[in-house]
Amino acid sequence: MDAVVAAPRALLGRTIVGPASVRIRDGRIVEVTTGEAPPGAEVLSDGLLTPGLVDVQVNGAVGVDFAEVDADGMRSVAEALPSTGVTRFLPTLITAPVDVVIRQARAVLAASAALPDGVGARPLGVHLEGPFLSPKRAGVHDPSFMVEPGPDQISALLNDDTLRRALRMVTLAPEQPGGLEAVRRLVEAGVLVAVGHSDATGEQTRAAADAGARMVTHLFNAQRPLGHREPGVPGVALVDERFTLGLIADLAHVGPDVCRLVFNAAGARVALVTDAVAAAGMPPGRYHLGGADVLLTEDGVPRSPEGTIAGSALTLDRAVRNIVSVGVPMADALASATIVPAEVIGESGLGRLAPGAVADLVWWDDDLRPKKVWVDGRIVFDAAVPAQPVSAGYATAGQ
């Protein structure tokens, strides 16, 4: 039997309209209509209905580091994310030796496969943020583990049957020896390549786009900065329409005025990401990122023992609210957490309320806080129902 959800307002594409109704059958949207709710619909009394949020850079959450994940840990993250509006996420692994990265990726994929149907948000594969990065822009990554993306290293990734089928995204520094050829090989294999942790010049960044790179990982962070003569990575990314721009909108990685500048320059190409680590959704304390210690203090920003920012404790719903708070229209902010990240990883059935799309929905209150979340047409979070401890903890992160 079909289910119909009707709302006073809904995000259709990149526009908020209303009232609107979404008809669901077998976990997919079969019809979207505007106007009066049809008979038998579940009528949402207020707020806004949107697609589920898609986060393409998540290192962990609720005490779980994906570099050390097992089935129970993956389930904890999957159950926690819907309270923040996230219905699909891309587990991310940071720099480690190639053989270790492959082992970690296999563990992530095994833990993902063990998730029962109907439980929480769903993982989308794996994102490797390293080890093909520039030691000049290491950030919190260990430079001693970084290697050039030579033919043997790329073959090691692509020749692993388990990893090849689920490798969705690789962040690399294209200026490194072998970088452009690595971009071409990965793109030919169907992998999204992002420029990140890179000291590339503007010219080298354009060359990466020519080779097939289509994203920039955490714009402005761990990359050659924008200059008025040498545009670096961000300068080219802001004007080259081939790039989708990952943005950590916790207002600490990138300040409010620059976040607004990014949306003014390239708002239709911004993908909000959390870059969340195990500390997300947890109280202040010591956690892991890629197996290394990370300290979360009262300021809510995880840092290495040396004081370097180490991912974030951000949630994607909070990122949306932050972007709205700096003056970006609500529809644009929400599109940056739904349709834009879905499209950049090639998931045309996610991030939209449209016939044929997966029935991942979020009902928001008037303060842009999730009230109810559906994954594949099933309710996986309801703010009116007492939450499990893990989900409740994650929902309060950064609030």
**Which regions of the chain are under pLDDT 70?**
387-399
The DSSP code for 136 is: G
Query: Which residues, at least 6 apart from 338, have a Cβ–Cβ distance to it below 8 Å?
Result: 11, 50, 51, 52, 53, 54, 350, 351, 352
- Per-residue model confidence (pLDDT) at position 398: 28
Q: Is 318 annotated as ligand-binding?
A: no
Q: Is 347 annotated as ligand-binding?
A: no
Q: Is 221 annotated as ligand-binding?
A: yes
Cβ 123 vs Cβ 78: under 8 Å: yes
Fold match between 3-49+355-395 and 52-344? no
Look up 275 and say whether it is catalytic.
Answer: yes
- Per-residue model confidence (pLDDT) at position 246: 98
Between the alpha carbon of residue 388 and those of residues 192, 284, 351, 369, 395, the distances in Å are 35, 20, 26, 18, 11
pTM beyond 0.85: yes
**Right CATH for 3-49+355-395 from 2.60.120.380, 1.10.1740.10, 2.30.40.10, 3.40.50.720:** 2.30.40.10
- Per-residue model confidence (pLDDT) at position 386: 76
Active-site residue, selected from the candidate residues 55, 65, 199, 275: 275
- Per-residue model confidence (pLDDT) at position 399: 27
- Per-residue model confidence (pLDDT) at position 387: 61
Q: Is 311 annotated as ligand-binding?
A: yes
Which superfamily does 52-344 belong to? Metal-dependent hydrolases (3.20.20.140)
Q: Is 309 annotated as ligand-binding?
A: yes
CB atoms within 10 A of CB 160: 15
Q: Is 229 annotated as ligand-binding?
A: yes
For the chain, what are the domain ranges?
Answer: 3-49+355-395, 52-344
